[in-house]
């Protein structure tokens, strides 16, 4: 995703589902959380992306944001309903 907000908006406007996953079952929200792309995280959450989605390793976007030190993203995810105690 590389932090390209306009490109993400274009994909979503063309009907790409927010819950589309890659081979590791990461959603766009997982990937944006890893990269610290807060504007894209906000966009995805505004489009009803699931903050509780789990990848092949049972990681949520919140887990990944925290692991990669993306504290602003983690705060946003928490504000939007991500749960700390999900394991």
Give the DSSP letter string of 26-42: -BHHHHHHHHT-HHHHH
The whole-number pLDDT of residue 85 equals 78
Sign of the CA dihedral with 47 first, then 30, 2, and 73 last: positive
The CATH superfamily of 5-79 is: Ankyrin repeat-containing domain (1.25.40.20)
Read off the pTM: 0.91
At 46-57, the pLDDT tens digits run 999 999 999 999
The whole-number pLDDT of residue 8 equals 93
At 17-68, the pLDDT tens digits run 999 999 999 999 999 999 999 999 999 999 999 999 999 999 999 999 999 9
Q: Where are the domains of the chain?
A: 5-79
17's torsion region: left (phi>0), alpha (psi -120 to 50) or beta? Answer: beta
């Amino acid at each position: 995703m590389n932090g390209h907000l306009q490109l993400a908006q274009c994909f979503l406007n063309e009907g790409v589902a927010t819950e589309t996953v890659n081979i590791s079952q990461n959603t766009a929200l997982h990937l944006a959380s890893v990269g610290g792309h807060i504007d894209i995280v906000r966009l995805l959450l505004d489009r009803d992306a699931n903050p509780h989605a789990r990848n092949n390793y049972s990681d949520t976007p919140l887990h990944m944001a925290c692991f990669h030190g993306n504290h602003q993203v983690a705060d946003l995810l928490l504000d939007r309903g991500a749960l700390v105690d999900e394991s």
